[in-house]
Amino acid sequence: MTLSSGVDFKLIRVASLLESDPAAAAREAVEILRDHPRHAAALLLLASAHRRSGNPQAAVAEFGELAAAQPDSAVIQLELARALRAQGHEDARARVALEKAVQLSPDLAEAWRELSLLHAARGDAAACDAAYARFEKLAPEDPRLAEAAAALANERFAAAEDLLKRLLERAPGDAAALRMLAEAATGREDFTQAERLLEECLRLVPGYSRARLDLALVLHKQLQAEPMLPLLERLLALEPGNPRYRTLQAAALSLLGRVDSALAIHEALVSEYPQHEQAWLNYGHTLRAVGRQREAIGAYHKCLEIDPAFGEAWLSMANLKTVRFSDDDVAAMRTQLAREELRHDDRALLEFTLGKALEDAGDFAASFEHYARGNALRREVVYYQGESVTRHVERTQALYTREFFTARAGWGSPSAEPIFIVGLPRAGSTLLEQILASHSEVEGTRELTYLPRLAVELGDFEEPGKTPAYPASVARLSSAELTALGERYLAQARTHRVLGRARFIDKMGSNFLQIGLIQLMLPNARIIDARRAPLGCCFANFKQHFHKGLWFSYSFEDLARYYRDYLTAMAHFDTVLPGRIHHVNYEDVIGDFEGEVRRLLDYCGLRFEEQCLRFHENRRVVATMSSEQVRRPLYTEALTQWRNYEPWLGPLKDALGDLAAL
């Protein structure tokens, strides 16, 4: 072995020790330098070992000496900057070294990453984000993440999490792995965990725009509009024309009631991207929400000019409930369904739309067949276990006894501002919301996600083999803590109260699962149960495609079980909190409209106002699929629609059992 090869072997060994044992690397580098003084590679390794082992002062001296001897080495400038920052010098000297490094070697990815962190420490967000964007373009893909990325792409979230957690045990500061772990949590709809991971990711790497976008998307899934805006403003500062960022910004503005600003963004996007069907779809949704139905239909037709198989556009027209599809439309949908390469989601949405088209045409046998196919396609791909809701209701019954509430009487925020409307979808909740929002003292907001999110924070997430902490965790909350939670909810909801009226509505139907928490946090809030007869309600849900969350609606068995759990929960609270909940049957509203409206207002402590009977004249923004129905006088047809399908509803009746007769 030659002298040179012997030194090289020792240098390789020192380099291999840098990550695992930097102190040992320093000792071996010193031995090399004892035999070969001023050896450049050994000096570089020694300085790096000193920095990694917590001796930045020695590292700064050594890197400074190396930089003077090799002024054209970008790597030495990078390491000098790292040593300076480790020594606490977040100042001009470190920045000068990094800027020199990227000037000498513009493709040195790690120098851009360090420069991004330095700009973040100085509070220069724009420079931070721009530098990290350069790093991302230059950095090679980490092969250790490839398997986890494949698992995420195939929605194998548990497998991805297992791989990523093992990787993070070895490298806790790996921002890319943290972001992917958040992506897996989002896939499982554990949004609280996803938020926590993404916030940690941005704390470690403030310039990571992909993580910032993912956080905005997670917030959007929870309708958390206000915190989305600063994230999107920062993203847009880096890429002002990015259509995805602008679309999300419009969505946030729309959630906050700033619909004119949202429309302006959508109008600009369809002008700039006239062949982008998603831009037209988003524009159509916003037009529909503000009552500009004809223009919304035009936007949906534009989607179909671009992509005739675009299922969301077809279904969006069906959801208006006022569009009647022509024979040519039906033929066009059937042509698309005949294509073997049609995307799964488009196929499911087209099946639902054809079901509606054929229902309007009176061909109920064919209509049911398409509704059934659409539901079967959706049930294939959604993860839903109905027994988890049953177990939640059982835990609710065990915890929330009359004695439990008596012991906590007077706890919580005294505010009477919220009016909660709970129940299943398609049971008249939007109608009740529109009636109440027509009152001069009440403002309609939307289906707010704050209570379900709070329940998750308190432990409402079921893992295999583990009992969720919630609702039992509520028993450990003090009076002060419950008051604080009530005030927190009110503060979060305030961002949606653009009219500033005294009362507001939260129409999240699944809050029937959180009634115990509502009673403890906000004991003076009103709770209205929007109810509809089981067969009509369940079949109305079966006919409706829901974009997210309402996974129980895609099979008769799941629907019947969910409806039964809902009735069990409501009956329990009627027993332990008698008279607390005001029940409104949709059938009674149709039969005695004015009487039911008067009773509703009386329960809410509101004086009678004539305009509540003329709810359809209210031009407020309505974001749900019932938007067009509540802009017309009382919609009575839904009461008996299910009877057109009675020959095919035997399995639903069997699943409902004794409830089918109600």
Where are the domains positioned within the chain?
3-138, 308-381, 386-661
Structure tokens at 556: 């008769």
Q: Residue 1's pLDDT is what?
A: 35
Does pLDDT of 180 surpass 80? Answer: yes
Q: Residue 509's pLDDT is what?
A: 95
Query: What pLDDT band is residue 383 in, cutting at 50, 70 and 90?
Result: confident
| Residues 573-629 pLDDT 10s | 999 999 999 999 999 999 999 999 999 999 999 999 999 999 888 665 555 544 445
Length of the chain: 662
| Residues 461-493 pLDDT 10s | 777 778 899 999 999 999 999 999 999 999 999
Q: Residue 18's pLDDT is what?
A: 62
Average pLDDT value for residue range 438-459: 91
Q: Does domain 386-661 have CATH number 3.40.50.300?
A: yes
Does pLDDT of 445 surpass 70? Answer: yes
* 562 neighbors 386 (Cβ within 8 angstroms): yes
3-state DSSP assignment of residue 528 = strand
Half-sphere exposure of 314 (CA within 13 A, CB side): 29
Task: Report the DSSP beta bridge partners of residue 421.
Answer: 528
Question: DSSP letters along 32-63, please?
Answer: HHHHSTT-HHHHHHHHHHHHHTT-HHHHHHHH
Average pLDDT value for residue range 203-222: 94
Radius of gyration of the CA atoms of the chain, in A: 30
Does pLDDT of 206 surpass 80? Answer: yes
pTM for the whole structure? 0.79
Residue type at 441 in one-letter notation:
E
Task: Report the DSSP beta bridge partners of residue 505.
Answer: 419, 444
Most confident among 148-162, 188-202, 233-247, 463-477 (mean pLDDT): 233-247
Question: CB within 8 A of 389, min separation 6: which ones?
Answer: 513, 552, 561, 562, 565
Picking from 84, 140, 134, 91, the residue whose alpha carbon sits closest to that of residue 113 is 134
Is 386-661 the same fold as 3-138?
Answer: no
Phi–psi pair at 604, nearest 5 degrees? -80, -5
| Residues 127-150 pLDDT 10s | 999 999 999 999 988 888 999 999
3-state DSSP assignment of residue 616 = helix
| Residues 34-72 pLDDT 10s | 666 666 676 666 666 666 666 667 666 677 777 777 888
The bridge status of strand 442-446 relative to strand 503-506 is: parallel
Q: Residue 394's pLDDT is what?
A: 97
* 449 neighbors 223 (Cβ within 8 angstroms): yes
| Residues 262-286 pLDDT 10s | 999 999 999 999 999 999 999 999 9
What are the Cα distances from residue 14, in Å, to 4, 19, 24, 48, 256?
15, 10, 8, 10, 58
3-state DSSP assignment of residue 15 = helix
Does pLDDT of 340 surpass 60? Answer: yes
Number of neighbouring beta carbons within 10 Å of residue 385: 12
Query: What pLDDT band is residue 5 in, cutting at 50, 70 and 90?
Result: low
Query: What pLDDT band is residue 116 in, cutting at 50, 70 and 90?
Result: very high
Does pLDDT of 327 surpass 90? Answer: yes
Q: Which of 127-136, 183-192, 195-204 has the lowest mean pLDDT?
A: 183-192
CATH class of 3-138: mainly alpha
